[in-house]
């Protein structure tokens, strides 16, 4: 039994077999054949001898190793198991926000959400960098609020509210799994973070539609042909951006002028049929010449859809050159629905059917009529209206009915 000093520890040489030396009280060092030196603590509790590793030398210095030994010895004298204490500490170290949100994502969100990629981006870009290191035992409401404030400060209040929603869901998952006693984000209101979100009501006037269409047909836009077609198809059909991005050629029957969107691509979770006007079929025919396999509007290759934000970014780049107030990809769908009602006087129920919206429970239970002839008539009329519009030289204004 030797009294340990740094000089003594450094002088210990590896042998053919692993060996240990002790200073007293169970505090010792283990040396392996390849020269690794580790501090050990050997003790007896409840009549049973046990041993644990405190750390490696020189990463854990002699002074700190003795300090840790003294702490654990005191716990043993109080009747506590040093090994159980260390296991609990290691569990707490692993019980972090990062571990929880990753477990929630892989265990629930990735399997159950239609757009898990958006959630993954929030986790990787915001939640883990801002909160991931915090222990679940120590995280407080103020920690979450301050993290969200940083997102707001960079000019993204709406995104901060989305991140808050994700955090709440992940923490609720942690409560249900026993990782948390309560959800520290449950009382944070989005209105106190990113503010009250007002729904967009931007509707393009007929004159604005004509300006956009003519801009797309000019050599000023510098947009890809696929992106130009995507904007026109959404205007003509009112489909959601995702429904068009994910569309493959197998969904289209051009001879019957029908596009059948599968349930997995629809927000409503039900198959949706779209009548194809001659204008839409002409656009599809041109796209078909570029690629007849995979996705209609594709990304890097025909077997990959256009990325989720590609269309939004493309529209943002042409805003100033088009010369009309700001508009987005989703405004095209709202514009389609509004003009169907206020410009060509289509029945509201038919418009809802054209949009693929779920009908109220009573109507959906007793009325299974898909109104395909009425929808066909509406889309033909709207297509002709746009054709007349883009060929006209007269300025056309449109005011929404309040």
Tell me the per-residue pLDDT of 190-221, one tens digit each, with 9 for 90 and over.
999 988 877 778 999 999 999 999 999 988 87
pLDDT tens digit sequence for 112-152: 887 788 899 899 989 999 999 898 888 999 999 999 999 99
Provide the pLDDT for residue 20.
Answer: 92
Provide the pLDDT for residue 90.
Answer: 60
Location of each CATH 3.30.160.390 domain in the chain = 6-93
- Exposed e or buried b per residue across 333-350, where buried means at least 16 C-beta atoms within 10 angstroms of its C-beta: bbbbbbbbeeeeebeeeb
How many whole angstroms separate alpha carbon 389 and alpha carbon 135?
Answer: 61
What is the DSSP code (8-state) at residue 253?
E
Q: How many CB atoms lie within 10 A of CB 279?
A: 21
Q: Which residue has the tokens 């060996």?
A: 19
User: Which pair of tokens denotes residue 85?
Assistant: 């204490």
What is the DSSP code (8-state) at residue 273?
E
How many whole angstroms separate alpha carbon 322 and alpha carbon 331?
Answer: 15
CATH architecture observed for domain 206-391: Orthogonal Bundle (1.10)
How many whole angstroms separate alpha carbon 18 and alpha carbon 24?
Answer: 19
Location of each CATH 1.10.443.10 domain in the chain = 206-391
Provide the pLDDT for residue 360.
Answer: 59
CA dihedral of residues 65, 69, 72, 73 (deg, nearest 10): -170
pTM here is: 0.61
159, 168 contact by CB (below 8 A): no
Secondary structure class of 288 (helix, strand, coil): helix
Q: Which residues contact 26 (CB under 8 A, 6 or more apart)?
A: 41, 42, 43, 69, 73
Location of each CATH 1.10.150.130 domain in the chain = 97-192
The correct answer on CATH 3.30.160.390 for the domain covering 6-93 is yes
Low-confidence residues of the chain, pLDDT below 50?
362-368, 395-402
How many whole angstroms separate alpha carbon 248 and alpha carbon 294?
Answer: 5
CA dihedral of residues 329, 333, 338, 339 (deg, nearest 10): 90
How many whole angstroms separate alpha carbon 211 and alpha carbon 217?
Answer: 10
Provide the pLDDT for residue 207.
Answer: 94
Task: Please provide the distance, in angstroms rounded to a whole number, between the alpha carbons at the two ends of the chain.
Answer: 93
The correct answer on CATH 1.10.150.130 for the domain covering 97-192 is yes
């Amino acid at each position: 039994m030797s009294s340990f000093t740094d000089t003594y520890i450094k002088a210990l040489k590896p042998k053919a077999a692993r060996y240990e030396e002790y200073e007293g009280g169970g505090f010792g060092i283990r040396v392996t054949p390849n020269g690794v030196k580790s501090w050990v603590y050997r003790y007896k509790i409840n009549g049973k001898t046990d041993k644990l590793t405190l750390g490696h030398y020189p990463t854990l210095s002699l002074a700190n190793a003795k300090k840790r030994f003294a702490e654990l010895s005191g716990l043993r004298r109080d009747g506590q198991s040093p090994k159980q204490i260390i296991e609990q500490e290691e569990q707490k170290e692993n019980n972090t926000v990062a571990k929880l949100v990753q477990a929630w994502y892989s265990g629930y969100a990735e399997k159950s959400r239609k757009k898990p990629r958006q959630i993954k981006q929030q986790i990787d870009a915001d939640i883990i960098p801002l909160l991931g290191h915090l222990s679940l035992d120590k995280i407080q409401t103020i920690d979450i609020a301050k993290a969200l404030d940083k997102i707001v400060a960079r000019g993204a209040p709406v995104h901060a509210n989305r991140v808050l929603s994700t955090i709440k869901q992940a923490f609720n998952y942690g409560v249900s799994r026993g990782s948390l006693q309560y959800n520290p984000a449950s009382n944070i209101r989005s209105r106190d973070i990113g503010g009250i979100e007002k729904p967009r009501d931007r509707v393009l006037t007929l004159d604005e539609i004509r300006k956009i269409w003519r801009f797309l047909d000019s050599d000023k836009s510098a947009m890809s042909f696929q992106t130009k077609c995507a904007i026109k198809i959404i205007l003509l059909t009112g489909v959601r951006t995702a429904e068009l991005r994910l569309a493959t050629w197998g969904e289209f029957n051009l001879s019957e002028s029908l596009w059948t969107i599968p349930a997995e691509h629809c927000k409503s979770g039900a198959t949706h049929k779209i009548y194809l006007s001659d204008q839409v079929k002409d656009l599809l025919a041109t796209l078909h010449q570029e690629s007849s396999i995979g996705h209609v509007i594709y990304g890097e290759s025909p077997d990959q859809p256009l990325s989720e934000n590609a269309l939004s970014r493309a529209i943002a780049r042409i805003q100033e050159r088009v010369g009309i107030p700001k508009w987005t990809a989703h405004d095209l769908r709202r514009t389609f629905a509004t003009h169907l009602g206020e410009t060509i006087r289509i029945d509201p129920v038919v418009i809802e059917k054209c949009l693929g919206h779920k009908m109220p429970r009573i109507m959906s239970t007793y009325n299974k009529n898909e109104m395909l002839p009425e929808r066909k008539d509406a889309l033909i009329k709207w297509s002709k209206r746009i054709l007349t519009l883009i060929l006209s030289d007269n300025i056309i204004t449109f005011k929404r009915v309040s």
